[in-house]
Structure 1
């Protein structure tokens, strides 16, 4: 049984460091901004945005900011019953692990939700926190089972992703994305889904809905104006897309007033 001890969010802490020690708990780390240096059993490790680290109990560990470079990261401290298999290979093997997450944005939001739940006082908090932690461990285990992505595939996927990030408010067709990497539309869709977990057009809608949520909370734009701004020229279609990816209507989201309610968008 996994027991969560604490969850931390380090937000650009100046002069951050931890003292060298053999830790008495397990640690999950997700770096969300910048870089951080660890020494793990005498080996120097530099982790950067998108990196996940698992540091097993009894590891001799210390950490610090890189010079002039504070960072952001989530850290989960937890234990589980010694001598009993969890069914999670990297936990049962008690080995240090570092790898780059394919679906980083979703994992980041789950870490964020876990952090918020641990700080809250609402009913069933411990049950929800345990569920989120187990989900994260399952996601990480599944990603580890995937065959290693070839550099050219990663390059193609990043080209497409960068284009969508830059142009998500404009009309985007899969054919134009395929032309960017000189491959077929079917190949482009399958490749993007293999790397990032969902097709590129879905990713475009996710970005639009995230921006819509930001504008709903932090601007005086009307829903119709936001719809037009994001490239949805039919407001009823915008409503359908928003509810599909957020599980709420725009009005319901505004009533809740919390950016952290966006977890369903990345499910």
Structure 2
């Protein structure tokens, strides 16, 4: 049974550091921005954006900002109340692990929700937090079960992803993505889905909808303006895509009480 101790969000803390000590708990670290340096049992570990670290109990650990820069990360401290093996290989091994996850944006949202639930006083808080934490551990275990990808495949997929992140507001054609890696369109689409779990076009829409959520909350742009800005020249089509990914219309999204959990974007 997982026993949560604390859930923290370090938001560009100047001079952040932790002292060198042998920890009596497990730590899950999810880096969102920047870099952070750890000393793990005498080995220097640099974690950066999209990295996930599992630091098991009894690890001798210290940490600090990397080269006087700051960072953003989620940190979850927990213990395991158990008499025998958990059945989760990386937990039972008791070794430090560094992960890259296919659905890192989804992990960010779950960490945000966990942080808010731990700080709140709503009913069934403990039950909800246990569920979120078990899901995160399960996702890490599942990721480790995947076959090791050839470095070339990862590089090809990362090339496509970088292009999508830079150009998601523009019309995206599979032929163009294929030319980036000098492969066929069918290969490029299948490869991206193998690595990231979704098609390039679906990923593009997720980037657009995520940006739309931010603009709806933090700008004075109209819905029609946001749609056009994000490359949806038919506002009704934008409405359909937004609802497909969030389950809500843009107006309903703005009006709902709890707008923090948009994890359905990344399922």
Q: Report the TM-score range of the alignment, normalised by the length of the smaller protein.
A: over 0.9
Partner of 2:60: 60
- List 4+ stretches of structure 1 deviating above 4 A: none
Name the TM-score, length of structure 2 as normaliser. Answer: 0.95
Contact 2:227–2:235 at 8 Å: present in 1 too? yes
Partner of 2:218: 218
Residue 67 of structure 1 and its aligned partner are, at CA, apart by 2.6
Partner of 2:194: 194
Distance 2:41 2:76 in 1: 20
Distance 2:104 2:234 in 1: 31
Partner of 2:100: 100
Q: How many residues align?
A: 267
Distance 1:146 1:61 in 2: 29
Residue 259 of structure 1 and its aligned partner are, at CA, apart by 4.9
Name the TM-score, length of structure 1 as normaliser. Answer: 0.95
- The one-character-per-residue Cα deviations of 1:3-23 (angstroms, maximum 9, x if unpaired) are 111101111111111112211
SS of match in other structure, 1:210: helix
Partner of 2:32: 32
Distance 2:3 2:195 in 1: 31
Contact 2:9–2:115 at 8 Å: present in 1 too? yes
Partner of 1:70: 70
Partner of 1:123: 123
Distance 1:64 1:163 in 2: 32
Residue 127 of structure 1 and its aligned partner are, at CA, apart by 1.1
Partner of 2:139: 139
SS of match in other structure, 1:261: coil
Contact 1:11–1:71 at 8 Å: present in 2 too? yes
Cα RMSD of the aligned pairs, angstroms, is 1.5
Residue 78 of structure 1 and its aligned partner are, at CA, apart by 0.7
When structure 1 is superposed on structure 2, of 172-181 and 205-214 the one drifting more is 172-181
Partner of 1:47: 47
Contact 1:214–1:259 at 8 Å: present in 2 too? no
- The one-character-per-residue Cα deviations of 1:223-249 (angstroms, maximum 9, x if unpaired) are 122222222222222111101111111
- The one-character-per-residue Cα deviations of 1:42-71 (angstroms, maximum 9, x if unpaired) are 222121111111111111111111232122
When structure 1 is superposed on structure 2, of 96-105 and 70-79 the one drifting more is 96-105
Contact 1:213–1:259 at 8 Å: present in 2 too? no
When structure 1 is superposed on structure 2, of 7-16 and 217-226 the one drifting more is 217-226
- The one-character-per-residue Cα deviations of 1:48-101 (angstroms, maximum 9, x if unpaired) are 111111111111111111232122111101111233222211111111111222
Residue 258 of structure 1 and its aligned partner are, at CA, apart by 5.4
Contact 2:109–2:261 at 8 Å: present in 1 too? no
Unmatched tracts of structure 1, length 5 or more: none
* 1:157 and 2:147 matched: no
Q: Flag the 1:207–1:258 CA change in 2: closer, same or farther, 3 A.
A: farther
Distance 2:159 2:67 in 1: 31
Contact 1:217–1:257 at 8 Å: present in 2 too? no
Residue 264 of structure 1 and its aligned partner are, at CA, apart by 0.8
Distance 2:265 2:223 in 1: 19
- The one-character-per-residue Cα deviations of 1:196-216 (angstroms, maximum 9, x if unpaired) are 121110011001111111111
